[in-house]
Chains A and B, each alone.
Chain A
């Protein structure tokens, strides 16, 4: 948001210009056959692949179906993580005993590569959606939990004291002061969680799946369909940006005071 504010006119031009230059170099390099089309497909063949799988699908699923499969997993896991991690994180920030129980567990699994414990989850929950959602749940959980706990701990003491001095009771202080005061940091955690969840999703789909955008890319690479691989990567990138934008817009509506205190 701050970056967006300090962007001037020339910065607004630089971003599209960069994209155009990359596309042009890509186009020239492939047209002049400077690179092997098996390794780097021409932009027009990626475009053709897009039209093709939009119409005919890839391996029994259309492109929207692949995307929907991925998004369903991500959104389900993300929401579950938010519902559990927000109250737990806030409680951990509020109460050092609760923190003493949960913080070490989260500190332990957070640095582990998700694919390491994914194998365990597959053993327990099978290769279907459950294990993937559990994996994404864990990936989203840590950033939300940590941001909520630290938000409560660094809340201005005077905010709380003042509320009591104005006549609030404990519950009112929690709902009318602590919770709103934590929202800005909470949203930072939510954005991180969605980002981490998304990258984990793609790798999870690459390991064991038969649908989803990540699976499509991996499967296409086995058949050396570099056009579809490239297409998949571009779609993943754009989807990632869009997801972040969505949460950013929600954030701007819910915490318009963020960074202005």
Chain B
């Protein structure tokens, strides 16, 4: 039942031979090198990798905020030329607009796309309900807790019904309990809508709990080191719940991924030519 889409995977986004170089005084910082990635419809892809390896850069290229220095990023058959609402984006630091209340923030996309007023109201209410912000419609973003801000942020992205949801460490700043609530919410929405999701995280357990595919990147300049298929997300949402975390196959995969990431850090410690990356997050 989980693999319905995998018989005939429909590609949603394709990255081929992507390099990205941030210009600087000394000719540029290579952030990505030769990244190839196909993202299929309905997949939940989690990206892991050491800090500074280019995860955010990768996401910004797919979102259309950055243009690759080399290579091609496509959505469907079209080259990604800039941001648009088919690819919804969510950051660690919620960028809700402080001059709008929760409701107007969530309605922003529909308003920009000139939906009729009655429809905006209906859809907005529906998503406010979905993310559990009922009763806070009139609150200003600065009156919300961190978790509530991320809920509003999520709803604001979802109202557009984007084909792809791009999330950059969306729950990184939240406490453990809130983070788990948000993970459950995202999983539920993903299962309900059949969205394609790309989520960046530095937490292996988060990746294992949500992903259908986990991508591990090398340290700077970022390349894709290894991919893993995962299906714990279905089991967590099923009858096994959190017990999945204690299953041997979970622990095994976790170990394997951690080993790859820490070997990256080992190599880093030996070479130490890029001191910036040493500020590794725990």
A-B contact pairs, 7 of them (CB 8 A): A158-B95, A165-B85, A165-B89, A167-B160, A176-B112, A181-B97, A257-B140
Residues 75-110 of chain B: 1 if any A CB is under 8 Å from the residue's CB, otherwise 0? 000000011110111010101011100000000110
* Across-interface contacts of B89 in A (CB, < 8 A): 161-162, 165
* Contact present for B113 and A167 (CB under 8 Å): yes
Question: Given that A165-B84, A256-B140, A257-B142 are contacting pairs, would A159 and B97 also be in contact in the complex, using a CB cutoff of 8 Å?
Answer: yes
* Contact present for B98 and A166 (CB under 8 Å): no
**A residues within 8 Å of B by Cβ?**
156, 158-159, 161-169, 172, 176-177, 180-181, 183, 255-257, 260-261
B57 interfacial contact with A, CB 8 Å = no
B212 interfacial contact with A, CB 8 Å = no
Question: Given that A257-B140, A257-B142, A261-B98 are contacting pairs, would A161 and B108 also be in contact in the complex, using a CB cutoff of 8 Å?
Answer: no
- In the assembled complex, the Cα of A172 lies from the Cα of B112 at a distance in Å of 7
- B186-221 residues at the A interface, CB under 8 angstroms: none
Interface SS of chain B: helix, strand, loop or mixed?
A: loop
Question: Given that A156-B95, A161-B63, A172-B112 are contacting pairs, would A167 and B84 also be in contact in the complex, using a CB cutoff of 8 Å?
Answer: yes
B22 interfacial contact with A, CB 8 Å = no
B156 interfacial contact with A, CB 8 Å = yes
Q: Of all chain A residues, which has the CB nearest B159?
A: A166
Contact of B112 among A161, A167, A255, A257 (CB under 8 A): A167
* Across-interface contacts of B108 in A (CB, < 8 A): 163, 166, 168, 176
* Contact present for B97 and A165 (CB under 8 Å): no
- In the assembled complex, the Cα of A255 lies from the Cα of B97 at a distance in Å of 12
* Contact present for B95 and A167 (CB under 8 Å): no
Q: Of all chain A residues, which has the CB nearest B90?
A: A162
Q: In the assembled complex, how far is the CB of residue A154 from the closest CB belonging to chain B, in whole angstroms?
A: 15
Per CB-CB distance, the 3 closest pairs between chain A and chain B, nearest first, are A167-B85, A257-B98, A166-B109
- In the assembled complex, the Cα of A181 lies from the Cα of B141 at a distance in Å of 14
* Across-interface contacts of B95 in A (CB, < 8 A): 156, 158-159, 162
Q: In the assembled complex, how far is the CB of residue B153 from the closest CB belonging to chain A, in whole angstroms?
A: 9
- In the assembled complex, the Cα of A260 lies from the Cα of B93 at a distance in Å of 15
* Across-interface contacts of A257 in B (CB, < 8 A): 98-99, 140, 142
* Across-interface contacts of A156 in B (CB, < 8 A): 95
Q: Of all chain B residues, which has the CB nearest A179?
A: B99
- In the assembled complex, the Cα of A159 lies from the Cα of B91 at a distance in Å of 11
* Contact present for A167 and B142 (CB under 8 Å): no
- In the assembled complex, the Cα of A165 lies from the Cα of B83 at a distance in Å of 5
